[in-house]
Amino acid sequence: MGEDVIITIKNLSKVFEREGEKTEAIRNLCLNVVRGQLLCIVGPTGCGKTTLLRIVAGLEKPTGGTVLLDGQEKSSPSADRGMVFQEFALFPWRTVAENIEFGLEIKGVPIQERMEIVKRYVDLVGLKGFEKAYPRELSGGMKQRVAIARALANDPRVLLMDEPFGSLDAQTRNIMQRELLRIWNETKKTIVFVTHSVDEAVYLADRIAVLTARPGTLKKVIDVQLQRPRDRVGEEFFEIRRSILHEVEVEVEKALEQP
């Protein structure tokens, strides 16, 4: 294939069992993630995209199949797969700077070095001056910047993002999308980005994976070859958006028919 694959997801399946009832969230899903790419995963609600991301992160265990990171099987969480959550998940008892250095503390990085790294990432996400603030003092957008800085400061091999802008208002969301692209451009990290907004996916992604309705499996992979910065109201943008939306809507209908 010639692509530099960093993550290989092979025949992944996940069945949840609750009070005797089984729910098949993911069935036989295969997907490759290319190094350095920004991959978006879209699909109807309940298609298992968040579950998929959590399995890659190691926060859930698959019922079947494997996840390989640079050829190594990964089934538990570690610092090589950083994650950003929709709910921000900042540690409320730590300041912005202390949140960002969390992973570094765990690694045992000495204080001087930690401070330098923290400073670099604070600047990168545009939060200079807020190092000593507490999460409760920040707006949603600012919190997510901290979360991104925190994940990146830990130098993971891949950054997983689970609907990170879902809690933000539309304006902030657009700003954060631009900011994410800027940060991505500077760090060149592989990003796997789950969202249910096709708009967002088309704006951000190099490649979009569409999942089917439950049980989720890979429906289609579309490469988005538009140049960045992308024109949200441009014709090409519109075309790609329309075709992907169509794919997703078919799945949404199927999902509605499910019990």
Partner 1 sequence: MKKDILIRVGIGAISLIFFLIVWDRAASSIRSPYLPPPYDVLKALISMLVFNQVDHTGHFMSDHISASVFRVLYGFALAALVGVPVGLFTGWSWYIESAASPIIEVIRPIPPLAWIPFAIKFFGDPFNTVFIVFIGAVFPTIISTVAGVKAIDPILVDAAKTLGATRSKLFTKVVLPSSAPSITTGLRIGLGVGWMCIVAAEMVGVKTGGLGYYILVMMDIGRFENVFAGMILIGIIGFIMVATMSYLERRLSRWARM
> Footprint of partner 1 on this chain (CB under 8 A)?
54, 57-59, 77-79, 81-83, 85, 87, 89-94, 102-103, 105-107, 134-136, 147, 150-151, 154, 156, 160
CB burial readout 98-126, b (16+ within 10 A) else e:
bbbbbbbeeeebeeeebeebbeebbebbb
Q: In the complex, what is the shortest distance from the CB of residue 138 to partner 1, in angstroms, rounded to a whole number?
A: 12
Q: Which long-range contacts (CB under 8 A, 24 or more apart) does 174-182 make?
A: 175/141, 176/141, 176/144, 176/145, 177/203, 177/204, 178/229, 179/125, 179/126, 179/145, 180/148, 180/204, 181/38, 181/228, 181/229
Q: In the complex, what is the shortest distance from the CB of residue 246 to partner 1, in angstroms, rounded to a whole number?
A: 34
Q: Which residue number, 85 or 203, has a Cβ lying nearer to partner 1? A: 85
Q: In the complex, what is the shortest distance from the CB of residue 115 to partner 1, in angstroms, rounded to a whole number?
A: 18
Structure token pair of residue 84: 């950003």
Q: In the complex, what is the shortest distance from the CB of residue 225 to partner 1, in angstroms, rounded to a whole number?
A: 31
DSSP element (H, E) containing 41: strand 38-42
Q: In the complex, what is the shortest distance from the CB of residue 136 to partner 1, in angstroms, rounded to a whole number?
A: 6
Q: In the complex, what is the shortest distance from the CB of residue 203 to partner 1, in angstroms, rounded to a whole number?
A: 25
Q: Which residue number, 44 or 58, has a Cβ lying nearer to partner 1? A: 58
Q: Which residue number, 134 or 237, has a Cβ lying nearer to partner 1? A: 134
Q: Decide: 48 and 215 in contact? Cβ < 8 Å.
A: yes
Q: Which residue number, 3 or 87, has a Cβ lying nearer to partner 1? A: 87
Q: Which residue number, 107 or 120, has a Cβ lying nearer to partner 1? A: 107
Q: Which residue number, 92 or 129, has a Cβ lying nearer to partner 1? A: 92
